Structure 1
Amino acid sequence: MKLSKAKPGWKKMPEEVRKESILQAAMQCFFSKGFERTSVQDIADAAGLTKGGIYFHFESKEEIRDTLIQNFLSWERFGFEEPEVKALPPHLRLVEYLERLANRLAVEGNCSPRLFAEATACGAMEKEILSFYDSLEKLFAKTIKESQENGKIKADLSPELSARTLLALFDGLQIQSDISNKRALQTVGREVLKVFLKSMLFLPQDNCEI
């Protein structure tokens, strides 16, 4: 078997740069082959390293996966609290939240919920992932309630159930997008979300583009 060679100058790079390169390579492998079918050698080949180079920075494939998930779940990366987002009317803020989730939970057409599901099936990262979704539900429910008070979203809906339904729909669309590009989140999925928001949440007079 031909062994992969480390990139020239690899050892001279800062440690964080080396780790980030490994994480990027692993992410593409996990998304293309799935976590279980990806080997450490696959990650090494994708990163242009030896297996020893991988193990120098990470103890196992599982540690790489968990680090990726922790990065995905970092609340700050979504910018929900940025001034330009907070300045939006609540119903448009809700749309912006979905936009940011779509753009930052996906990498080259592949989505992190698949990785979340694979991890929790093994009993890993469940607490962290559930905490992330709980935080999203609270944020969405709060925003929906504000929109109801402003007369933009139907008042007879439960903000909490509406938030959970919206997130369930969003995750389902992401997973379908991961299965087939004919169901791409940025095209077909976007249209499904638009129909849901306009017909199920927003009042008829609102015409909100997403």
Structure 2
Amino acid sequence: MAPSSGRPLKPLKQERALRTRSVILDAAAEVFAKEGFASVTLQDVAERAGLTKGALYFHFSNKESLATEIVNIYLARWPPLIKSIEEAGMSPLDTLIEILDRAEEAFRGNVMIQAAARLQIERSLIHADLPTPYTSWVTTLSEVTQRAKDAGELRENVDPQAAARFIVSSFFGMQHVSDVLTGRADQRARYEEMRDLLLEGIRA
């Protein structure tokens, strides 16, 4: 008998599939962030997600496809966040600080971002065409530091592109060291040290 009312079955199946896919990605992020790519199996992900291995295979054929999707989710997060900060009307240097503040907060509290950060470090172990890390950050922060330079907010001898490369290296190194040594328990304190020393060195 055909259903007399309610929503079509196909959209319901699509919604269920999207929810399952999200559960799988969340579970994969948790185990990748904690154990690293090499140590994790698809069975580990399935158990963490509360699914059968067959259900997982319906969405992802291997670990590489999971890792690639997590990195892509991570990369897609930043452009809208940065756009909203730049539209807030702050000075270029304050914009730079706000971007770093918000990024630190995200790295500290979002397991998907933590997993992507670890996967980028372990990219030599992942046989997939992952996007090149860090370059978009360098490009974005170069633009912001150049505006800060033009606005007279940076010391005259500061090169905006060099400053951007240094900031990116410092930020990603800071969060990785905090993760390894304290499980990110001291990340905020280490970030504030980095930020304050950085600003002391470049601010006009």
The TM-score range, normalised by the shorter chain, is: 0.7 to 0.9
**Larger RCO (CA within 8 A; separation ≥ 6):** 2
CA contact (8 A) 1:35 1:118 kept: yes
The number of equivalent residue pairs is 190
| 3-state SS of 1:21 partner | helix
Over the matched positions of the two proteins, sequence identity in percent amounts to: 26
Structure 1 residue 189: deviation in Å? 2.0
Distance in 1 between residues matched to 2:102 and 2:188, nearest whole Å: 15
SS of 1:180's equivalent in the other structure is helix
1:179 and 2:190 are equivalent in the alignment:
no
Counterpart Cα distance in 1 of 2:80 and 2:105: 9
Asked if structure 2 preserves the Cα contact closer than 8 Å seen for 1:153 and 1:201, the reply is yes
Please report how far the alpha carbon of residue 112 of structure 1 lies from its aligned counterpart in structure 2 after TM superposition.
Answer: 3.0
Q: Is 1:129 aligned with 2:132?
A: yes
Tell me how far apart the structure 1 counterparts of residues 154 and 125 of structure 2 sit (CA, whole Å). 36
Structure 1's unaligned 5+ residue stretches are: 1-10, 204-210
State how far apart, in whole Å, the 2-side matches of 1:20 and 1:182 are. Answer: 25
Residue 117 of structure 1 corresponds to 121
Q: TM-score, normalised by structure 2?
A: 0.82
Instruction: Measure how far apart 1:73 and its partner are.
Output: 0.8
- Flag as ranges the 4+ runs of structure 1 deviating above 6 A: none
Paired position in structure 2 for 1:208? none
Please give the alpha-carbon distance, in whole angstroms, between the structure 1 residues aligned to 2:72 and 2:186. Answer: 23
- Match of 1:151, SS? coil
Structure 2 counterpart of 1:117, one-letter code: I
CA–CA separation in structure 2 for the residues paired with 1:101 and 1:29: 22
How far does residue 117 in structure 1 lie from its aligned partner after superposition? 1.5
Distance 2:78 2:114 in 1: 21
What is the CA RMSD across the aligned residues, in angstroms? 2.5
